[in-house]
Chain A
């Protein structure tokens, strides 16, 4: 049996999305910037896609900018807003659990002299909006908080944070990459000034995303060149991928409630069974305010990458927050931010469900997981199989 439980890494392209894209490779292949009919036909498709995406987010079409994906969008939002600011000193606020596309960009900005405050989260992985209010200074240019976390699925109080930012007259950006599949977003109601998305997280193609920029917000450009995207983001317009992204978002919004119900039922069943049936298993993050497709658990006395690889031998795809699987020496900064001890962060596994995940797949995964944990505990110097107990000392 093959089971894909890594939908937070990427998703399969929807068949409907693929069909929508296909004409724009070999038939309607003109450059949308061209004046002739080949170009105009492509431009029409891009315009329609932009309008569709805008209406789903409660935005205006002129506020949607196409990018190569959320990494670029995040880079653009942060660097663009900071560099466009006239402040003599510049400060920004983000959280301790952001994706590397934000974290690494912040570190880059720090090299330019920008001061960054990283707001801590509680043990459920949630940012307290009051902590953000307290961190605001005279020179704060920007607040960037993810809509929901990619590793342990904590959904952040974005609307409240947006309100604080608006009251204080500070720009507010959110990386909504992981959230958009299950969380409806309205940029006006949530006071969002900038928002990043990647199509491949919601059954669209890879290599395409958007940055929503509220009209009136000024950003420095990140990519220089031609006049595309109202002169704000150069590069030949990627018609097929844009069409695919719009289709994927349309399907995502249309089926959201049904998919959420399905995934959260499976998620809760999964968590309950594993907590009951696997000794020394722990849920990372809280049960409320959690993405419907996210399960993140740690398994005592064994290491995450070896869990991942053993499940892989049985056809199950997951991901891990262990240092060993990342090539760095530190385990996931997100799991550590929850207050989870290092040894358990090393053993964390993310199972991210998809809209097509079945109960049979979950049952197979749980049975295989139980065998996997037993096998690895049998090899672990920290675990005593006869007694069925372990110790880290």
Chain B
């Protein structure tokens, strides 16, 4: 049911891990489905550009592939640009996901948004 692109990214995901001194961390999860996605962002505060992104995910192959794709997408983007990333963009890069797996790509969109929110809270708190 997964296409080759999804399998390929699942087999060799990019950006796995944590960023110890991350500027923003977002954790989202769907307890009923048993999946948790955590995104770490390194952000250049002056330029407002995301310089690095990593993830840790407890979930299915689609969730792991979506995490990889989403963290790749945000790198080099401004915060505004990153916030515009939709799960449909992730699905497109994956060349499609089975219908019951679409919510896994939604998690990726939400995790990025959460991480940015976390960053903005820190910045405005200063």
Contact = CB atoms under 8 A, between A and B. Distances in A.
Given A309-B7, A309-B10, A342 B61 contact: no
Interface stretch (A5-13, A22-30, A248-256, A299-307): A299-307
Interface string B15-59: 010000000000100001111111000000000000000011111
B33 A305 contact: no
Given A309-B7, A379-B16, A302 B32 contact: no
Contact of A322 (B34, B55, B62, B100): B34
Nearest to B103: A329
A324 B102 CA distance: 11
B13 A379 contact: yes
A247 interface: no
A327 interface: yes
A33 interface: no
Contact of B36 (A322, A327, A330, A381): A381
Contacts of B112: none
A303 B16 CA distance: 16
Contact of A324 (B11, B56, B60): B60
B64 interface: yes
Contact of B57 (A323, A331, A346, A380): A380
A330 B31 CA distance: 10
B60 A303 contact: yes
Contact of B60 (A322, A343, A381): A322
Nearest to B100: A327
User: How many residues of A sit at the interface, in one of the four size bands?
Assistant: 20 to 34
Of the listed residues A325, A329, A331, A378, the one surrounded by the most CB atoms of chain B closer than 10 A to its CB is A329
Nearest to B38: A381
A88 interface: no
Interface residues of B, number: 26
Given A329-B33, A331-B34, A381-B27, A309 B61 contact: yes
Interface in B100-115: 100
A114 B56 CA distance: 48
B4 to A, nearest CB: 12
Contact of A306 (B33, B37, B60, B98): B60
A372 to B, nearest CB: 12
A147 to B, nearest CB: 30
Nearest to B18: A381
B34 A343 contact: yes
A302 B7 contact: no
A327 B62 CA distance: 12
Contacts of A327: 98, 100
**Sorted from nearest, which 7 A-B pairs have the closest CB atoms?**
A346-B34, A324-B60, A381-B56, A305-B60, A381-B38, A327-B100, A309-B61
Interface of B: 2, 7, 10-11, 13, 16, 27, 32-38, 55-64, 98, 100
Given A327-B98, A380-B57, 13 more contacts: A301-B58, A306-B60, A309-B7, A309-B61, A324-B34, A324-B62, A330-B32, A342-B34, A379-B56, A379-B58, A381-B37, A381-B57, A382-B58
15 contacts: A303-B34, A303-B60, A305-B60, A306-B59, A309-B10, A324-B33, A325-B60, A342-B34, A346-B34, A379-B56, A379-B57, A381-B36, A381-B56, A381-B57, A381-B58
